[in-house]
Structure 1
Amino acid sequence: MKSHAAPIRVLLVEDSPSQLQLLRAYLEATPDLVVVGTATNGQEAVQSTLRLRPNIVAMDIHLPVFDGYEATRQIMQHQPTPIVLFSSSAGNAEQRAMAALAAGALAVVRKPAGPADPASITDREHFIRTLRLMAGVKVVTRHPPRPTPVRVPRTPTANVELVAIASSTGGPAALQTLLTDLGPRLPVPVVIAQHVAIGFAQALAGWLGSVVPQPVHVVSEELSLTPSHIYLPADNLHLVISQPGKVSVLPSSDDDRYCPSGDYLFASVARHYGSRAIGVIMTGMGEDGARGLAELAAAGGITFGQDEASCVVYGMPKAAKALGAVRHELPLERLGLSIAALLAPAQNKD
């Protein structure tokens, strides 16, 4: 992350004149942000990004001409720039926002409403805080070759029965790659703590289920785990293993820095699975998941971390590595293939 001595230059993209005026007023009331331009459709957003080269693009997902997903895709192809998406609608718009995250956008947040809305202050503060955080992220367009998997020695004393993953910024695209590489006949269930804004958990699961070969479930109460199935928590809940073969959720509290928490998930996996689990920590800001992954490693679990070069933000994996929690550090393009190779003996038993 780099600091901005000068104000952060924001390109604001919103098709509603009244909403554009409102959002611009919010940003212009913030001393370290400056609106260098506005656009009212996806095509203008791409053209303005190429012309103005802002530090960050703040963009509605629902736009005319082409939407925020297509604008994101073109911006990342022609002029990679940090992008934060916002949305106030549900359903398809939110799933398109998840697709845009996979295409290179860094975050999606709820669109701040007017002062009369009770959630206005919270949403506005979150929106501005996210712009500040994401403006310093270096984004690039990568076209990596497909490498061969790295062989990881299989633990001779126990069979792997669960894969647990924690990720944040850049996570949706990383999850798509990893889960696709694991394949449709994965012999174990996968539990995931992916940081996502409140209101977007169902959209994340819906989008992920449309792009990976495994069924995806949103957990709001205790469920039995099924091999080859993916489990994510519902909004504002932490995903945890409650007992072997069972996944459940815990409510978040005001003291939680992250929700869902990778630390909560990995710690619960360490308690109930220990050496029979694989833990994976991937791209994301902060240090969530590092302590929990250390607990899993200490319990004999096989732990992986995404390497710096393939991370959008090398925060969570770096923190885990500093604690000695990462036994195998690999680029994203090798993670899924290597875990699949590790699980291959279990697959061959069928």
Structure 2
Amino acid sequence: MIRILIVEDSVTMRHHLREALAADPDLQVVGEAVDGERAVELVARLRPDVITMDMMLPGISGLAATEQIMAEHPTPILVVSSADRQELFSTYNALAAGAVDVLEKPRGDDSDADWGLRLRTTLRIVSRIRVITHPRARLGRNSSPMPAPAPALPSVVPVAAPALSVVAVGASTGGPGALTELIRELPPNFATPVLVVQHIAASEQFAVAFSDWLAGQTGRNVRYAIDGTPMSRVGGQVLLAPPDRHLYVRDRMLRLSDGPPRHSCRPAVDVLFESVATEFGATAAGCLLTGMGRDGAAGLLQMRNRGAVTFAQDEGSCIVYGMPREAALLGAATYVLPPGRMAARLGDLHPAGARR
């Protein structure tokens, strides 16, 4: 039995959630909260297995409730959010503060047909994730994350690499917070393009809000990749894979594809990493961040085998130690570090700029 706490102030939406969950006898609603304060109280008293969290609540917000819960009683949280721009920014802040995943609220159109099934499936997955007292939640939303203990570096340190042409980054569950830390900590004059695959909700509204949110969090030029853009024109930019499109590089140009999913993912990290390995070899760097599953591990190994400097996020700083763990087990990571230390190492490689 998976015990669920519903946090939602709308009577209609609470009914919709209960109705969708009732279709699975293994999902039990153990409590409901209509505001953030009550949510925090019920988590402490009921200790649910998983929480559905609305962002726009009376009293303390869903974001503040998420931060408090992750600081005091870490529990897997699924944010159930509308596509309203203000709410989406709060949603991404909640993901950076330790919430595990997000599901868009029903839209009132044909896309709602399988919404209940998606809710039940996502809650089953989220409930199995081992969450920790998240550093950002513990310190407060406007503070810098507490640094994780420094892991041991590999016994064999690679020789100095040639100038970086590109940094390829892959992330999934927990990625918004890790991406923010990695990109924010890069040196201000870091001129190398950063290509990012982040597994995230596929609606256009969610996508646009995410790029704008990440730009605001990091102070960087963040946008979605456009097919056919030459790599020579994207220096210093952070380019995201658009929703439901693979991102890769061919003939020194950004390419997008509707090709088959890899590891049930589109965009897939492996597609990006494999193309970067082929195109740039030893002039690339790869970073595999927090996430469930194994997408990106094999591609990161290909990058390392071609001479690239490769990073996997360390367990202590991950929301979900899945993808980086697979990479470490394969021997794909040159370094195993928290995102901030990855950024410092990337800056140390060639801080004066990059050959593109």
Counterpart for residue 3 of structure 1 = none
Q: Structure 2: any 5+ residue segments left out of the alignment?
A: 136-145
Is this contact kept in 1: 2:81–2:103, CA < 8 A?
yes
Tell me the secondary structure at the aligned position of residue 22 of structure 1.
helix
Matches within 5 A, 1:226-305: 226-244=234-252, 246-251=253-258, 253=260, 257-305=264-312
Q: 1:348 to 1:32 in 2, by over 3 A?
A: closer
Are positions 1:223 and 2:234 aligned together? Answer: no
Q: Verify the 8 A CA contact 2:290 2:321 in the aligned structure 1.
A: yes
Structure-2 residue corresponding to 1:342 = 349
Is 2:54–2:79's contact at 8 Å kept on the other side of the alignment?
Answer: yes
Distance in 1 separating the partners of 2:35 and 2:246? 37
SS of structure 2 residue aligned to 1:273: helix
Alignment pair present for 1:197 and 2:201: yes
- C-alpha deviations, 1:213-242, integer Å up to 9, x for none? 311011243324422210112221112113
The CA distance in 2 between the partners of 1:76 and 1:336, in whole Å, is 26
Give the counterpart letter for 1:281 in structure 2: L
Q: Structure 2 vs 1, CA of residues 188 and 32 (structure 1 numbering), >3 Å: closer, same or farther?
A: same
Q: Is residue 320 from structure 1 mapped to residue 327 from structure 2 by the alignment?
A: yes
Report the count of equivalent residues. Answer: 339
Give the distance between the partners of 1:183 and 1:205, measured in 2 at CA.
Answer: 20
Deviations 1:125-173 (A, max 9, x none): 2222111111122222254347789799565463211100101111111
CA contact (8 A) 1:86 1:110 kept: yes
Whether 1:121 and 2:113 are equivalent positions in the alignment is yes
Instruction: Map 1:1-350; keep pairs closer than 5 Å.
Output: 7-112=1-106, 117-143=109-135, 144-145=146-147, 155-156=159-160, 158-199=162-203, 200-225=206-231, 226-244=234-252, 246-251=253-258, 253=260, 257-344=264-351, 346-347=352-353
Contact 1:23 1:112 in 2 (8 A): no
Q: 1:236 to 1:324 in 2, by over 3 A?
A: same
TM-score (norm 2): 0.88
The match for 1:4 is none
Q: TM-score, normalised by structure 1?
A: 0.89
CA gap of 1:106–1:85, structure 2 versus 1, over 3 A, is same
CA contact (8 A) 1:154 1:342 kept: no
* CA displacement at 1:40 relative to structure 2: 1.5
Asked whether the 8 Å contact 1:148–1:337 carries over to 2, the reply is no
Over the matched positions of the two proteins, sequence identity in percent amounts to 38
How many Å separate the matches in 1 of 2:324 and 2:16?
38
Q: Structure 1 unaligned runs (5+)?
A: 1-6
**What letter matches 1:120 in structure 2?**
D
Q: Is the CA contact 2:172–2:200 (under 8 Å) kept in the aligned structure 1?
A: yes
- Give the residue type in structure 1 aligned to 2:280: Y
Shift of 1:94: 1.2
Contact 2:186 2:346 in 1 (8 A): yes
Report the AA paired with residue 165 of structure 2: E
Equivalent pair of 1:107/1:169 in contact (CA under 8 Å)? yes
Given that residues 274 and 300 in structure 1 are in contact (C-alpha distance below 8 angstroms), is that contact kept between their aligned partners in structure 2?
yes
| TM superposition shift of 1:253 | 4.0
- What's the CA shift for 1:207? 1.0
SS at match of 1:92: helix
* Distance change >3 Å, CA 145–CA 44, structure 1 → 2: same
Residue type of the alignment partner of 2:227: E
> Alpha-carbon deviations, 1:225-262, whole Å to 9, x = none?
42221011222111211332x32311254676012210
- Give the distance between the partners of 2:268 and 2:335, measured in 1 at CA: 22
Q: Deviations over 1:277-335 (max 9, x none)?
A: 00111111000011211221122111111122221111111112222211221233422
* CA distance 1:214–1:321, change in 2 (3 Å): same
Q: CA deviation at 1:71?
A: 1.7
Check the 8 A contact 2:197/2:267 in 1, yes or no: yes
